């Protein structure tokens, strides 16, 4: 058995944040019934066609799920949704602001009808306040949360290449649902909670927020370097390749100077004696490091770093990541079924010895309609989960 076997989740979801949360719950064994728009479905289905005609976002976020298409504004389809909710343990929605309330799917109404239900609402900015009804896309929330002000070069900010606002909201929705289910086991009652993209990403902004609020200045944009740690980032070798490394503390700095650079005198140079001093004298520090690295190949630098146990990495592109030898050695790839045939998929990152996570099919739009409706018509079925 998987931990969430027997848990049913009804998800009125779209795009990234809610599907990311529910897919992780499905990986743990939960049954996720994805309610989609008739005709078009989750609009993430049409983001691109790169996975043999399917959207890369949709393939990533929707394995292990069942799909039923409902126009929840029509009375007959709304009745189907309410039947599903009567049998569900969890309801998740990330519709446009105010949409759930207009449909009668607000948390108060649902909990009045189903006291054991867990209700998770995901939005851009949360309930109340001047932004409550603003549309929220990942780029826009990155801007509002200040994340983009930290990313890029000194001259130009840059969007973070992953949808971090969506991912942050999805992660807190995932953990919030697990917490609510655990609480229900103790109290016998469900409950409701909300997650906003702004506040989720805001939690991830903790260090720069404290740095700025109490230090008086914002961490500068520093490209691939670290705004407040040095040496940390890429350094050029004699053959033109860049070696990425990170020195985190005084002991590592001493080892780095002695064993890698073979310049132990740098540890007593007042410009470099502490991390704060090294950050303040970053340009001079880079000159000294690259002066020595400029005599060595990248392979030799990496050998010295490994021998000294200084953290370092090779810059890989996305193909390099998918072909990473560590993933292959740990057997992290599986095959999942889909409407376009078998596709490769990474295992979830939580590894439990002796327990294989669920890696089932990615559904076509409305693929599971007949079976789901047949279950609802079967009055001899199992007792609804939230009653």
Give the three-class secondary structure for 189: coil
Q: What is the DSSP string of 66-132?
A: EEEE--TTSHHHHHHHHHHHHT-SEEEE--STTHHHHTT--HHHHHHH-TT-EEEEEESS-SSSTTT
**C-alpha to C-alpha distance for 93 and 99, rounded to whole angstroms:** 10
Q: Is 114 a catalytic residue?
A: no
Angle, CA of 338, 161 and 231, to the nearest 5°? 130
The answer to whether residues 208 and 148 touch, using CB atoms and an 8 Å cutoff, is: no
Residue 208, Ramachandran bin (φ over 0: left; ψ between -120 and 50: alpha; else beta): alpha
Angle between helices 197-204 and 164-187 (to 10 degrees): 100
Q: Which run of H or of E encompasses 65?
A: strand 65-69
Give the three-class secondary structure for 161: coil
Q: Which two tokens stand for residue 223?
A: 């490209």
Which string of b and e fits 243-270 if b means at least 16 CB within 10 Å?
bbbebeeeebbebbbeebbeeeebeebe
Residues in the chain: 387
Catalytic residue among 114, 133, 226, 324: 226
The answer to whether residues 55 and 48 touch, using CB atoms and an 8 Å cutoff, is: yes
Residue that is written with structure tokens 């709304």 in the block: 78
Contacts of 91 (CB under 8 A, 6+ apart): 9, 10, 11, 12, 85, 105, 110, 117, 118, 119, 120
Contacts of 311 (CB under 8 A, 6+ apart): 245, 246, 247, 248, 305
Residues noted as catalytic: 226
């Amino acid at each position: 058995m998987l931990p969430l076997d027997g848990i049913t989740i009804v998800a009125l979801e779209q795009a990234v944040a809610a599907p990311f949360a529910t897919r992780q719950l499905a990986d743990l064994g939960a049954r996720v019934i994805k309610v989609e728009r008739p005709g078009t479905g989750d609009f993430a289905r049409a983001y691109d066609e790169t996975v043999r005609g399917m959207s890369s976002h949709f393939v990533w976020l929707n394995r292990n799920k069942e799909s039923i298409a409902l126009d929840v504004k029509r009375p007959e389809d709304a009745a189907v949704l309410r039947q599903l909710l009567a049998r569900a343990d969890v309801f998740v929605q990330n519709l446009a602001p105010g949409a759930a309330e207009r449909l009668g799917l607000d948390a108060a109404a649902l909990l009045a009808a189903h006291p054991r239900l867990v209700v998770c609402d995901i939005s851009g900015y949360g309930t109340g306040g001047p932004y409550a009804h603003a549309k929220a896309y990942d780029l826009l929330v990155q801007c509002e949360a200040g994340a983009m002000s930290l990313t890029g070069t000194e001259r130009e900010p840059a969007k973070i290449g992953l949808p971090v606002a969506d991912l942050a909201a999805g992660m807190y929705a995932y953990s919030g649902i697990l917490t609510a289910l655990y609480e229900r086991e103790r109290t016998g009652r469900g409950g409701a909670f909300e997650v906003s993209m702004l506040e989720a990403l805001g939690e991830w902004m903790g260090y720069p927020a404290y740095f700025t609020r109490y230090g008086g200045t914002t961490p500068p944009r520093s490209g691939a370097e670290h705004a407040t740690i040095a040496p940390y980032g890429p350094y050029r070798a004699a053959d033109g390749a860049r070696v990425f490394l990170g020195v985190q503390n005084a002991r590592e700095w001493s080892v780095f100077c002695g064993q890698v650079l073979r310049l132990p005198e740098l540890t007593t140079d007042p410009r470099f004696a502490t991390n704060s001093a090294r950050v303040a004298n970053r340009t001079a520090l880079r000159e000294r490091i690259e002066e020595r690295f400029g005599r060595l190949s990248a392979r030799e630098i990496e050998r010295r770093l490994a021998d000294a146990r200084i953290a370092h990495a090779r810059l890989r592109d996305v193909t390099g990541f998918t072909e990473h030898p560590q993933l292959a050695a740990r057997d992290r790839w599986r095959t999942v079924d889909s409407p376009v045939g078998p596709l490769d998929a990474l295992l979830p990152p939580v590894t439990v010895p002796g327990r294989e996570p669920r890696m089932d099919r990615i559904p076509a739009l409305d693929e599971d309609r007949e079976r789901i409706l047949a279950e609802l018509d079967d009055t001899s079925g199992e007792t609804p989960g939230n009653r």
